[in-house]
Amino acid sequence: MGNRVLVTGGAGYIGSHTAVELINGGYEVIIVDNLSNSDRSSLEGIRKITGIEPTFIEADCCDREAMRRVFENYEFDSVIHFAAYKAVGESVAEPAKYYRNNLDSFLTVLELMKEFGRNNILFSSSATVYGDADTLPVTELTPRKPATSPYGNTKQMAEDILRDMVAANEGLKGIALRYFNPIGAHPSALIGELPRGVPNNLVPYITQTAAGVRECLSIFGDDYDTPDGSCLRDYIDVVDLARAHVVAIERMVEGKSRERYEIFNIGTGRPVSVFELVRGFEEANNLKLNYRVAPRRAGDVTAVWADTTLANDELGWRAERELRDTLRAAWAWEQSVRQ
Ligand code: UD1
């Protein structure tokens, strides 16, 4: 049972890439997903890439009875909890929806883990927990700032819930991975991000603009206090990010954790500006993008990037993919979706 992993939200963007890396690493994967922001086609993509179809249960993690049946029917020692809403703007408009879903689903999973004696939980956290940090790059010890959105608040609160649950339950081990900006797609172009409606995030907006679905990319602000005036972020390839989950699970399964609750930044450690990213996309894919400078977007921080020393030293993990290859994969995926 040590090599079986329950992946909630496993049909989604990061979940599907993680399922692939887990299967490639010899793990058996059980996916629970309510398909609220994902598509069954990602399961087919996982099968095509790995040759193995993961077990799939369509269920909502807030549905305690459905989840109880999953725990009753499947033996697994580890859970990766991706299932959550993630649109920052929507969370501001509909906070209750975000608090109820993101916290209830996590609490349900944690309570069932306790009841069924399942030991290892990996939580998808986010660099959003740092807010507008005073010092850069941020380490795991950089103080968290008050969240700027209900979405960000659910990430902070879920981290705290995990910390407290681990403290109170001897058998439980937890890891929170704080993702920086996940981008790109599997190099096979069989799985990738499937944003519904108008994308909020930069790279899907870029690829849809290149594909002619959007007319023009707006660059939100060129008057920030940065070298070229646009914001700085740490863009991490989704396959590199997925690999971090496999090593984090291994660490818990093999009893290598230093503390029963640990936090790791997962990024490249390299700040990249919006202009650099746009230029990088144009050069990597040999095309021209239609863009214009627009006013700043409310809630954006000027700069945030990771100090990844802890993940490098403790997990033995580091980002490997070149930004150029990531941006090629993002474009290849967009084109495959449009076919
Ligand atoms: C956002 C969320 C973060 C969440 C992440 C999910 C905030 C403050 N942060 O990160 O909590 O985990 O998405 O992926 O909301 N940009 C443009 N034009 C666009 C879109 C974005 O110029 O059309 C710029 C933004 O101003 C920003 C950068 O691109 O500087 C990255 O934006 P985005 O991809 O939305 O990610 P974050 O805002 O960093």
Burial letters 59-80, b for 16+ CB under 10 A, else e: bbbbbeebbeebbeebebbbbb
The residues assigned a catalytic role are 151
Atom of ligand 1 nearest to the CA of 230: 30
The rounded percent of the chain whose pLDDT value lies above 90 is 98
Ligand 1, pocket residues at CB < 6 Å: 86, 88, 126, 128, 152, 181, 200-202, 205, 217-220, 231, 233, 274, 297, 299-300
**What's the pLDDT at 176?**
98
**Measured between alpha carbons, how far is 245 from 177 in angstroms, rounded to an integer?**
8
**Measured between alpha carbons, how far is 165 from 106 in angstroms, rounded to an integer?**
11
Contact in structure between 269 and 234 (CB atoms under 8 Å): yes
Q: Is the pLDDT of residue 2 over 80?
A: no
Residue pLDDT, tens place only, 200-217: 999 999 999 999 999 999
Cβ neighbours around 333 below 10 Å, total: 24
Q: Pairing mode, if any, of strands 272-273 and 232-233?
A: antiparallel
**What is the pTM for the complete model shown?**
0.98
Which pLDDT band, with edges at 50, 70 and 90, does 339 fall under?
A: confident
Mutate to test the pocket of ligand 1, among 200, 217, 272, 293 (most ligand atoms within 8 A of CB): 200
Average pLDDT of every residue of the chain: 97
Token pair for 257: 């954790």
Residue pLDDT, tens place only, 139-170: 999 999 999 899 999 999 999 999 999 999 99
Residue pLDDT, tens place only, 272-298: 999 999 999 999 999 999 999 999 999
- CA-wise closest residue to 129 among 118, 114, 119, 142: 142
* Displacement of CA 105 from its chain's centroid (Å): 16
SS3 assignment for 31-68: EEECCCCCCCHHHHHHHHHHCCCCEEEECCCCCHHHHH
Residue pLDDT, tens place only, 26-39: 999 999 999 999 99
